[in-house]
Amino acid sequence: MASVTSLTASVHQRLADALSAALPEAGAADPLLRRSDRADYQANGILALAKKAKANPRELATKVVSEITAPDLISEVEVSGPGFLNITVTDKAITENLAARAADGDRLGVPFAEKAGTTVVDWAQPNVAKEMHVGHLRNSVIGNSVVKILEFTGEKVVSRHHIGDWGTQFGMLVQYLIEHPDALGHQAADASDDTAAGEEAMSSLNRVYKESKVLFDSDEEFKTRARRRVVDLQAGDPETLAIWQRFVDESKVYFYSVFNKLDVEIHDEDIVGESGYNDMLAETCRLLEESGVAVRSNGALCVFFDDVKGPDGNPSPLIVQKSDGGFGYAATDLSAIRDRVFNLKADTLLYVVDARQSLHFKMVFETARRAGWLTEDVKAVQLGFGTVLGKDGKPFKTREGETVRLIDLLDEAIDRASAIVREKAQDLSEEEIAERGAQVGIGAVKYADLSTSAVRDYKFDLDQMVSLNGDTSVYLQYAYARIQSILRKADDVSPKAHPELELADAERALGLHLDQFAETVAEAAEEYAPHKLAAYLYQLASLYTTFYDKCPVIKPKPPQDIAENRLFLCDITARTLHQGMALLGIRTPERL
Ligand code: ARG
């Protein structure tokens, strides 16, 4: 199994060679190669080089053309306009390239990144004893895809689910449970029924949360006991910890049921919540104070920034320790950085967190830099995502103005998708309809989230998401299933590449796009941009549709070699769709 050099990379290399032969003083100059509508590629780099060398660009272009010797790869080079090159590659090169990809299993010729490192990705971070909402959809779905894309490039990825499992509200919850030992009820009876168990866990957590809050707000003595309980918790008192653990465990039953429905795999050992850094907090503060990075201000330990001011114009510091001695979100995140850099040996820290937390991360990263925990060799990035909006363009809320429960959204998407699958199904059993319905519904939700750039807000519109036409996962899933059906039906033809055959325009366009898969994955990994992969896959499905309209594969049956080559194109398209969708975390059912 070997990685495949893309046609783009090969053409680029030939052009760069010809350029330096034609203009030695230019050294290793970039021909600026792009895919183009006029020919397969256009090179625009000669203009600037000619200007620099005070040469006539068209003359230089002509000279470069005369230096290109790659008859197997390039069939035509034409000088156009003021000195562009239009380049056409041979049909043979296209088919041979695809054949090499097809021989490379699931990797489809995609090379591993030259320099792989270790990235710790902080993603899917719900909060204990709280309902998951649409914001947690985003940090789960985007995080899941980015992890898969990075791993595919050979990066070592460590996931960290920084769940909210610590803080003052746990004093209230634990105290309440001590005083009302049966309030959480018992573990859901049938743990195998994941959804029911999750629902039951969440509803008792909700109940305890509400009841204890009412008490906390109305009963001063309870409030005092709850506050004392926080101190016990942070001091590691065993009884307090054991009860706190019940809240965590019960919440995990719920989290896992949601992640399961969302078809996102989470591993228990990667769940290291805020509590996981408890032992480091005091030391983190001591180190910051000793080094002068943080200073005491009105009793609180603060880090100041010239460019961060509150609405009143006064500096607005990052508070690492409150004046009452309590540690907050910043102390935990700073401790997590120390753990991730020094213990996990990360050279990249990635945080898939709501863009509304970007000031927090800006200050946390800057503090860690000042403290020397983040050095020049370590990159820290927040992949900040935008807000999910309702159809009215406002942050998504229920009609009653409450935040929408993630699980309700997912159920609705699955219901809608199941209806579509049922309508189109010819030979599917009820069980199959349910399974496909879930794959289509969840795919639709994920794709809608992943197909726009993460920083942008987007509207949660189920009608659009499950539409069969347009830029949706359903469209891609149907394209995939249609190809599978063709492959099943073609019983006297097998996919086989025939590099000697001339290709139709639609075949070339499809082939050249398939060639770009590796570059697309590399770019999506480099920029943490799954939407680039989504756009690529959508275009792949569109080019396939055109090809399928213009170039009959089995009906009416073309000559055997053409049929084999077309079926080969079908097969590699399907495999690329499948792999690409898998990197987005979306299933591609074989039949729909
Ligand atoms: N639990 C937080 C939330 O629900 C997200 C945590 C983000 N990660 C972090 N290291 N601060 O918004």
Cα–Cα distance measured from residue 553 to residue 366, given in angstroms and rounded to the nearest whole number:
59
Percent of all residues in the chain with a pLDDT value above 70, rounded to a whole number: 98
Residue ranges of alpha helices (H) inside 387-516 are 406-424, 430-450, 462-465, 473-489, 505-515
What does the DSSP assignment read for 405-422? BHHHHHHHHHHHHHHHHH
77 and 204 belong to one structural domain = no
Does the Cβ of 321 fall within 6 Å of ligand 1?
A: no
User: What CATH number does residue 471 fall under?
Assistant: 1.10.730.10
Residue 511 counted as domain residue = yes
Per mean pLDDT, which range of 231-235, 277-281, 336-340, 360-364 is the poorest?
A: 231-235
Query: What is the domain extent for residue 549?
Result: 423-584
Does the Cβ of 127 fall within 6 Å of ligand 1?
A: yes
- pLDDT value of residue 326: 86
- Rounded to 5 degrees, what are φ and ψ at 343? -95, -45
Domain count, the chain: 3
Cα–Cα distance measured from residue 165 to residue 580, given in angstroms and rounded to the nearest whole number:
35
Cα–Cα distance measured from residue 313 to residue 306, given in angstroms and rounded to the nearest whole number:
11
Residue 478: C-alpha distances to residues 482, 543, 570 (Å): 6, 14, 14
Instruction: Check: CB of residue 37 under 8 Å from CB of residue 49.
Output: no
229 or 326, greater pLDDT: 229
442 and 559 belong to one structural domain = yes
Predicted ipTM > 0.90: yes
Q: Region 491-512: what's the mean pLDDT? A: 96
Of 158, 341, 353, the one to substitute when testing ligand 1's pocket (max ligand atoms within 8 A of C-beta) is 353
Domain edge (last residue) among 241, 267, 293: 267
Nearest CA to ligand 1 atom 9: 162
Residue 251 pLDDT > 80: yes
End-to-end Cα distance, the chain: 32
444 and 569 belong to one structural domain = yes
Of 134, 248, 333, 357, the one to substitute when testing ligand 1's pocket (max ligand atoms within 8 A of C-beta) is 357
Residue type, 450: L
130-169 residue pLDDT tens: 999 988 999 999 999 999 999 999 999 999 999 999 988 9
Q: Identify the three-state secondary structure at position 118.
A: strand
Using alpha carbons, select from 321, 274, 313 the residue that is nearest to residue 293.
Answer: 321
Domain edge (last residue) among 236, 267, 298: 267
443-477 residue pLDDT tens: 999 999 999 999 999 999 999 999 988 899 999 99
- pLDDT value of residue 193: 64
- pLDDT value of residue 483: 97
75 and 171 belong to one structural domain = no
Of 123, 125, 170, 354, the one to substitute when testing ligand 1's pocket (max ligand atoms within 8 A of C-beta) is 125
199 and 60 belong to one structural domain = no
44 and 179 belong to one structural domain = no
Say how many CA atoms lie within 13 Å of 31 toward its Cβ. Answer: 32
For residue 355, the CA-to-ligand 1 centroid distance in Å is: 11
Instruction: Check: CB of residue 383 under 8 Å from CB of residue 350.
Output: yes
430 and 577 belong to one structural domain = yes
Residue 116 pLDDT > 80: yes
| Cα–chain center distance at 278 | 29
Average per-residue pLDDT for the chain: 94
**CA angle 331-333-334, nearest 5°?**
65
- pLDDT value of residue 496: 97
Domain edge (last residue) among 89, 105, 123: 89
Residue 509 pLDDT > 80: yes
Q: Region 538-561: what's the mean pLDDT? A: 95
Sole residue written with tokens 């899917």:
124
Cα–Cα distance measured from residue 24 to residue 2, given in angstroms and rounded to the nearest whole number:
34
64 and 174 belong to one structural domain = no
Residue 564: C-alpha distances to residues 479, 495, 570 (Å): 19, 5, 10
- pLDDT value of residue 1: 59
Residue 535 counted as domain residue = yes
Residue 244 counted as domain residue = yes
- Per-residue pLDDT band for 190 (boundaries 50, 70, 90) equals low
* pTM flag (> 0.90): yes
Residue ranges of alpha helices (H) inside 68-180 are 91-102, 134-152, 169-179
For residue 139, the CA-to-ligand 1 centroid distance in Å is: 9
Nearest CA to ligand 1 atom 11: 333
84 and 179 belong to one structural domain = no
User: What CATH number does residue 83 fall under?
Assistant: 3.30.1360.70
Q: Identify the three-state secondary structure at position 108.
A: coil
252-271 residue pLDDT tens: 999 999 999 999 999 999 99
**CA angle 475-476-481, nearest 5°?**
100
What does the DSSP assignment read for 225-251? HHHHHHHHHHHT-HHHHHHHHHHHHHH
- pLDDT value of residue 187: 58
For residue 338, the CA-to-ligand 1 centroid distance in Å is: 17
Residue 297 pLDDT > 70: yes
For residue 162, the CA-to-ligand 1 centroid distance in Å is: 6
Residue 206 counted as domain residue = yes
Residue ranges of alpha helices (H) inside 490-557 are 505-515, 517-526, 530-550
Cα–Cα distance measured from residue 347 to residue 376, given in angstroms and rounded to the nearest whole number:
10
Does the Cβ of 333 fall within 6 Å of ligand 1?
A: yes
449 and 580 belong to one structural domain = yes
14-41 residue pLDDT tens: 999 999 899 888 777 889 999 998 899 9
- Per-residue pLDDT band for 299 (boundaries 50, 70, 90) equals very high
Residue 486 counted as domain residue = yes
Residue 575 pLDDT > 60: yes
Residue 58 pLDDT > 70: yes
Residue 319 counted as domain residue = no
479-496 residue pLDDT tens: 999 999 999 999 889 999
Residue 571 counted as domain residue = yes
- pLDDT value of residue 314: 86
- Count the Cβ atoms, other than its own, within 10 Å of residue 527: 12
- Per-residue pLDDT band for 592 (boundaries 50, 70, 90) equals confident
- pLDDT value of residue 399: 78
Q: Region 545-558: what's the mean pLDDT? A: 94
Residue 299 counted as domain residue = no
